[in-house]
Chain A
Amino acid sequence: MTEEAILQGCLKNQAAAQKELYNRYSPKMLAVCYRFAHNREDAEDMLQEGFIKVFSQIHTFQNKGAFEGWIRRIIVHTCINNLKKNKRFNESVDILHASTLQVREESVPSIVQAKQIVDCIRILPIGYRTVLNLYAIEGYSHKEISDMLDIEESTSRSQYTRAKQMLEDILIRKNIIQKPKEKIEWLAAIR
């Protein structure tokens, strides 16, 4: 079934077309939700709510961009609203908290797996994680993030910087990525 046919079917509220659309995009969208959510169940709830919005608002899609991008935007906004509603986003985020994180030192395959990256992102405190998701992965600007999360733009920037630093540390400690060369040299010189 072509994307156009799916779209037409969904406009007519046809269950078969809706199922096809769901099957096509739900795996990616659940991964998006999973990066924002506390656990898998929450992620599935967000996905469900997001897809209901997609189907009920599909007549507003105007073929101006990619259909997947339009769906993704709805899903992301649903996740943000869900976080706000559950007040998890308001958890205090402190850079000091990052230093206390216990990252297990275990052998990992040299091939970087997508799942490992996602798992490491999910280790981050929720404030860091949300800003990192929105900025680095979803491509929102700090201005947009500040509007979405009702925070200052500068807060978004600082949170992102810290989140990025923390994630990098985690990935290095888990041997998922390697330290940049100059950083290694600099560390060696200190030692």
Chain B
Amino acid sequence: MERNFYTDEFEELIRKKTGQYKMYPSDRVWKEIYISLHAKRRRFVVGMTVLIGGFLILAGRELLLPSKHPDAGRKITISDLPKNAESSDLPLSFSFAGSKKTVGFQQLNHPPADNRQDDTEPGYQPDVEGFATLTAPQFNQDALTPAGASTEVAATTDTHTSDPLTATGQPPSNNLRSDNSSIENLASATIINIAGQSRQPQALSRADLDKIQKAETDAERENRHQINWLQDYAVQHLAPVRQHRMNLQIYFSPTVNYRKLAGPDYAPIKPAIPNVPLALIHFGNINNYVDHSPAPGYEFGGSMVYRITRNISFKAGLQFSYSQYYIGAYASNRQPAALTLSSYYGYITDSLTSTIGNFGGKYRVDLQNKYYELSAPIGLELRVIGNGRLQLNIAGTLQPTYLLNTNSYLLTNDYTKYIKEPSLFRRWNLNGGLEAFLSYQAGGLRWQIGPQFRYQLYSTYKDQYPVKEYLMEYGIKIAVSRLLK
């Protein structure tokens, strides 16, 4: 390409004039260049915004609005009761308020209780799903629940009777409408025949009504026996629920990594002899003398989370971390690089050579310091707020860490060179981690997302080396956990 093409006057003219010519591109060109260069970053930002925004909306809905569980606040009506409630372990209750049924009191003229009837026998009107409800004539649920109040009656049975699941009926009387106490008694003594087996409701005759009315106190006492019987019965026969407390969690965290340097505290040295130059020593914060910038990394791992209490969990696991950061440096000719180590015997200077300078050189080079680490995070999780489905948690961990590679660059302690010296790297270290996350239960899995911060507690280099490096990670942790049964 190097050639003397200016010899031709014509060529020189052409070159000169075309060199003067400029054109200004339209805005479209830069926009498309920008999109092409930064589309990945923009997609990442948009994606994370949508993800975090979605979680926040869900959190707001779950925490601020009342529960919309389909069973919440629902009254179980007669028709909802199971066919074979006798064998059910569940405590039962039902409400008149939710029922639209008005059952005529057709058993008023029935024979006494000893004449038991089949379900098909005239006069016996089985209610829905095998339940027979006997109420007073002309009485409907509205009369039993004044002002719309819900009157719940436990489906009870008398364990002392031979027919425990048949409650005694409250006989209606002619003055029932005007007798509020009788109404209450009637309501509380509404006959429920659970599960419609071969048992029948006790048939009541008019003659019995007077007796029953007189024996009101007996009925009340009996009712007291019956109240909550089913609950008690159920409690006695329910198998104890086994508590599952152990969760298996796997997670992934895109991270941004950086470091903090701490150098030897060089005090300004006054020469003993004036005007004698000292060796170049850089005073002050070492971070001001290096050109380093964050770089992306990631970590992933798994852990076992054991729920100690309702709000506190213990976790331990294994994690792999890849972290890196960039260093701006300069290529230079091979030059001596002094490493001064503090030891029991004082400072020892080890002379090495390096082709990478910190302050200047032939041309710029970008170094990448990469760290591959295995660690075992152990820590606690605390539920701050939330229900079983959506929670806000915080967690802290201590992470014993093993460094897998030692081929990163380190800064000489006069800050002028970068060298590789694997023997100065500390293999075992300790990191601290903090995180806050939103977790959401969906199906059998619990998903969580939130920011995390990880800090290396001991220097990357051994204690003998006066320059200290502490790695930091900022990340977004995405995890999924499953209850182990």
Binding site for B on A (CB under 8 A): 7-8, 11-13, 15, 18-19, 22, 26-28, 30-31, 34-35, 40, 43-44, 47-48, 51-52, 55-56, 59, 62-64, 112-115, 117-118, 121, 132, 135-137, 139-141, 144, 164, 167-168, 177
Contacts and interface: CB of A to CB of B under 8 A. Distances in A.
Contact of B20 (A55, A114, A168): A114
A12 B166 CA distance: 83
Interface string B16-45: 011111111110111011101110000000
Nearest to B326: A12
Given A34-B23, A114-B20, A117-B21, A44 B29 contact: yes
B18 A28 contact: no
| 8 A-B pairs with least C-beta separation | A27-B22, A114-B21, A117-B17, A114-B20, A63-B363, A30-B23, A114-B17, A31-B21
A35 B21 CA distance: 10
Instruction: Give the residue among B15, B21, B362 with the most A Cβ atoms within 10 A.
Output: B21
B52 interface: no
Contacts of B26: 44
A47 B25 contact: yes
B347 interface: no
A168 B10 contact: yes
Contact of B14 (A22, A136, A141): A136
B29 to A, nearest CB: 5
A141 B29 contact: no
A141 B22 contact: no
Given A27-B23, A135-B5, A136-B11, A64 B363 contact: yes
A61 to B, nearest CB: 9
A31 B5 contact: no
Contacts of A47: 25, 29
A113 B298 CA distance: 58
B23 A117 contact: no
Given A19-B30, A26-B29, A167-B14, A52 B36 contact: yes
A51 B1 contact: no
A112 B366 contact: no
13 contacts: A11-B364, A15-B38, A19-B30, A40-B23, A47-B25, A48-B32, A51-B29, A52-B36, A117-B13, A117-B17, A117-B21, A118-B21, A164-B11
A48 to B, nearest CB: 5
B293 interface: yes
Interface in B314-362: 328, 362
B302 to A, nearest CB: 33
Given A15-B34, A48-B33, A114-B21, 12 more contacts: A26-B30, A31-B22, A44-B28, A44-B29, A112-B17, A114-B17, A117-B14, A118-B18, A136-B14, A137-B14, A140-B1, A164-B11
Contact of B21 (A22, A51, A115): A115
Nearest to A32: B18
B3 interface: yes
Given A48-B32, A141-B3, A117 B18 contact: yes
Contacts of A140: 1
B23 A31 contact: yes
Contacts of B14: 117, 121, 132, 136-137, 167
Interface string B36-74: 111000000000000000000000000000000000000
Interface residues of B, number: 33
Nearest to A140: B1
A30 B29 CA distance: 11
B39 to A, nearest CB: 11
B1 A144 contact: yes
Nearest to B20: A114
Nearest to A136: B11
Contacts of B15: 136-137
Contacts of A7: 364
A51 B18 CA distance: 20
A182 to B, nearest CB: 13
A117 B13 CA distance: 9
Nearest to A33: B23
Contacts of A28: 22
A115 B21 CA distance: 6
Nearest to B37: A55
Contacts of A11: 328, 364, 366
A44 B293 CA distance: 34
Contacts of A114: 17-21
A137 B15 CA distance: 5
Given A63-B363, A114-B17, A27 B5 contact: no
A48 B25 CA distance: 10
B45 to A, nearest CB: 13
B37 A52 contact: yes
Contacts of B25: 26-27, 30, 44, 47
B479 to A, nearest CB: 30
Given A22-B33, A52-B37, A117-B17, A136 B5 contact: yes
A139 B6 CA distance: 10
A51 B33 contact: yes
A82 to B, nearest CB: 14
Contacts of A141: 1, 3
A27 B30 CA distance: 12
Given A140-B1, A144-B1, A63 B33 contact: no
B109 to A, nearest CB: 93
Nearest to B15: A137
B2 to A, nearest CB: 8
A48 B35 CA distance: 11
A59 B25 CA distance: 25
Nearest to A22: B30
B17 A139 contact: no
B106 to A, nearest CB: 85
A181 to B, nearest CB: 12
Nearest to A27: B22
Nearest to B14: A136
A129 B72 CA distance: 81
